């Protein structure tokens, strides 16, 4: 268990460093963000290899704004965890759910508002999107959360 505690401490330090870098407002080289993201993922993998944490109850989901990508979400500010349920096969709402960790409140707020603009265009059975569409929860998830290198895991 000592190894897991050390790795969890390292992961926390990496996430704090990522948060400081992201909130600095400075332009961050892609190579640095890629390396930081890779280190966070590698540390998470080592933690999982050493032991699986106790199963957590599923969070109660809030409904998202209309989205062709995201069905619903929930944010736990105490744990800084964002749970996102994606749209499933139309008309069913059976999409996968992911947990994103280390999400500071200001990033969660931007996500809730769909603050980023879509960079692509397309449509599916749940709706359509176009380049520049704003608000866009899918674009915000991709740009701020996935692009920010926050650790994630599929939970269903």
> Which residues are CB-neighbours of 95 under 8 A, at least 6 positions away?
71, 85, 86, 87, 88
Q: In which residue are the tokens 């740009």 written?
A: 143
Tens of pLDDT, residues 7-26: 777 777 777 776 676 667 77
Tens of pLDDT, residues 66-96: 788 888 899 999 999 999 999 888 777 788 9
Cis peptide leading into residue 78 (ω within 30°): no
Average pLDDT over residues 4-8: 71
Q: Which of residues 156 and 62 earns the better pLDDT score?
A: 156
Residue 1: what pLDDT? Answer: 47
Is pLDDT of 53 > 70? no
């Amino acid at each position: 268990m000592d190894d897991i505690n050390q790795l969890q401490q390292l992961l926390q330090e990496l996430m704090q460093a990522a948060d400081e870098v992201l909130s600095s407002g400075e332009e961050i080289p892609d190579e640095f963000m890629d390396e930081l993201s890779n280190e966070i993922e590698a540390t998470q993998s080592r933690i999982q290899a050493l032991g699986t944490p106790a199963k957590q109850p599923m969070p109660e989901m809030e409904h998202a704004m209309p989205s062709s990508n995201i069905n619903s979400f929930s944010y736990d500010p105490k744990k800084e965890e964002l749970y996102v349920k994606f749209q499933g096969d139309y008309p069913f709402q059976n999409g996968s759910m992911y947990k994103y960790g280390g999400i500071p409140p200001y990033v969660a707020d931007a996500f809730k508002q769909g603050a980023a603009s879509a960079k692509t265009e397309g449509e599916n059975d749940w709706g359509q999107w176009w380049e520049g569409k704003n608000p866009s929860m899918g674009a915000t998830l991709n740009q701020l959360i996935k692009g920010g290198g926050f650790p994630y895991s599929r939970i269903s």
